[in-house]
C-alpha cells in the first residue's frame, strides 16, 4: 500500500492547515464510487470538479492508500499555524522570506527543502507568496483561492467577490502554475452571498475546510 506524502505551506493563522491535517494526516482512504452531492448540499454548498467519493478505511485494506503530512512549513516565524501543526504531531519548519533579498533565492531554498521529502504533492494553504518559476516548474503543487476563478484573483478575493454584483461566491482549488491564481482548476465550491461581509467570510472559510481535503484527494489520484 502506498502512502502519499504531502507538505503544507502557509503564512498565518493556519485554519486550512489544521483542517487538512485533521482530515488527511495518517489516514487511509479508498475510492467508493462517484462523488455524491448529498453531503455538500446539506451543508449549503454546491460542489463541482470532484469526481470520486473516498471513504476512510484502515491500512489493511488492499484497495487503500495512505496520506501523511510530512512537513508544515511557514515563511513567517510568528505564524500561529506552527502551533496548530505541532499540537497535531506534524513536523514544522520556518523559512523566513524576509531574510531573502530576491524571490528567486527564497524559492530556490524552499525547493531544496521540499525535495528532501520525496513529496507526492505540495499543498498551499494561505501561503502569501508570489512564486517564481523556480518553484512552480520544480514542485507539483495545489492552491486554494477564495473566489470563483478566474474572477477576483489576488489577495483580496473575498472582499472583491463580496462587493461585486454577483449573487454567488465561492472557492477554487487549482494546480499552481507560473501565473498567479491561473492554473488548471481541480474543484470549485459555491455559496450564496451574504449581506454582511463577516458572515460571508465565515461561509467561505467553512467551504474551504470542506472542499480542500476532498480536492487534495482528487489531486493525489493524478500524481
Residue 143 annotated as binding?
Answer: yes
Is 128 annotated as a binding-site member?
yes
Can you tell me which residue has the cell 530556490? Answer: 108
Q: Is 16 annotated as a binding residue?
A: yes
Cα separation, 112 vs 106, whole angstroms: 10
Q: Has 103 been labeled as part of a binding site?
A: yes
Q: Quick one: cell of 194?
A: 451574504
Annotated catalytic residue 209 = no
**Angle in degrees, CA 216, 218, 223, rounded to 5:** 85
Using alpha carbons, select from 204, 177, 179, 176 the residue that is nearest to residue 189.
204
Q: Which of 145, 174, 205, 209 is catalytic?
A: 145
DSSP state of 131: -
156 is in an annotated binding site: no
Distance, in Å, from the CA atom of 198 to the CA atom of 144, rounded to the nearest integer, reads: 19
The verdict on whether residue 129 carries a ligand-binding annotation is: yes
Angle (CA) 164 214 51, round 5°: 95
Q: Is 22 annotated as a binding residue?
A: no
Residue numbers belonging to the annotated binding site for (6R)-10-formyltetrahydrofolate = 103, 128-131, 143
Residue numbers belonging to the annotated binding site = 14-16, 103, 128-131, 143
Active site residues: 145
Amino acid at each position: 500500500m502506498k502512502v502519499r506524502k504531502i507538505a503544507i505551506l502557509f503564512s498565518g493563522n493556519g485554519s486550512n492547515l489544521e483542517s487538512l491535517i485533521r482530515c488527511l494526516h495518517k489516514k487511509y482512504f479508498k475510492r467508493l464510487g462517484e462523488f455524491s452531492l448529498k453531503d455538500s448540499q446539506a451543508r449549503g454548498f454546491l460542489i463541482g470538479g470532484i469526481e470520486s467519493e473516498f471513504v476512510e478505511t484502515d491500512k489493511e485494506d488492499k484497495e487503500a492508500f495512505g496520506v501523511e503530512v510530512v512537513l508544515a512549513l511557514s515563511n513567517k516565524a510568528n505564524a500561529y499555524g506552527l502551533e496548530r501543526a505541532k499540537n497535531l504531531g506534524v513536523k514544522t519548519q520556518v523559512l523566513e522570506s524576509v531574510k531573502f533579498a530576491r524571490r528567486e533565492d527564497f524559492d530556490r531554498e524552499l525547493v531544496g527543502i521540499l525535495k528532501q521529502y520525496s513529496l507526492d504533492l505540495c499543498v498551499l494553504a494561505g501561503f502569501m507568496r508570489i512564486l517564481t518559476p523556480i518553484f512552480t516548474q520544480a514542485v507539483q503543487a495545489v492552491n486554494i483561492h477564495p473566489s470563483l476563478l478566474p474572477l477576483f484573483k489576488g489577495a483580496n478575493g473575498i472582499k472583491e467577490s463580496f462587493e461585486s454584483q454577483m449573487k454567488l461566491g465561492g472557492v477554487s482549488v487549482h494546480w499552481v502554475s507560473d501565473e498567479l491564481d491561473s492554473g488548471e482548476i481541480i474543484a470549485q465550491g459555491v455559496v450564496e452571498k451574504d449581506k454582511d461581509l463577516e458572515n460571508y467570510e465565515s461561509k467561505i472559510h467553512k467551504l474551504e475546510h470542506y472542499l480542500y481535503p476532498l480536492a487534495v484527494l482528487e489531486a493525489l489520484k493524478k500524481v
